[in-house]
Amino acid sequence: MTSRSFDVDTFLQQPLTARLATNGPTVRPVWFLWEDGAFWVLTGPWTRLFDRVKNDPKVALVVDECDLVTGRVRQAIARGRAELVPFDVPRGRRKLVRYLGVDEALWDARFAGYLYDNPDQRGTMWLRLRPASLKVQDLSYAVVPS
């Protein structure tokens, strides 16, 4: 099976769920923003992810899709060292709009809280992963009608 090339930036702009692996090993689903050549994931001291990355910043992240109806199978696998960087509201809004839509009045209060709570009090941070390696594959196949 050979992989075809595809536009990874367009693929990563979709509101897909990634799986982020840390040392332990621990794997968790995360929402992400792909921007400026990096994956951005919300975190903070209330999560185990925050402490795991502080203790060992080596991570792996997988974003994939598999549609059995169309035969579309694509994936991006990133590896590198995650950084914990200060949270900024504009980037946070861009990330949440991808998954929840533009009308903040329809968002669950938990998500709006990330934008309007004081990040210094709550401790909201970004986990930023600028991949040391990024492997992308299109393993799609033709669906034979039955």
pLDDT recorded at residue 3: 58
| Cα–Cα nearest to 35, from 5, 67, 52, 13 | 13
- Is residue 95 helix, strand or coil? helix
Query: Strand pairing partners for 29?
Result: 19
Residue linked to tokens 């990355």: 53
pLDDT tens for the chain, 146 residues: list them: 455 678 899 999 999 999 999 988 899 999 999 999 999 999 988 889 999 999 999 999 999 999 999 999 999 999 999 999 999 999 999 999 999 999 999 999 888 888 888 777 778 899 999 999 999 999 999 998 87
- What's the length of the chain? 146
Q: What is the pTM of this model?
A: 0.90
Angular region, 9: left φ>0, alpha ψ -120 to 50, beta rest: alpha
How many C-beta atoms surround the C-beta of residue 101 within 10 A? 11
Angle between helices 109-116 and 89-100 (to 10 degrees): 160
pLDDT recorded at residue 64: 96
Confirm if 99 and 15 have CB atoms less than 8 A apart.
Answer: yes
pLDDT recorded at residue 17: 95
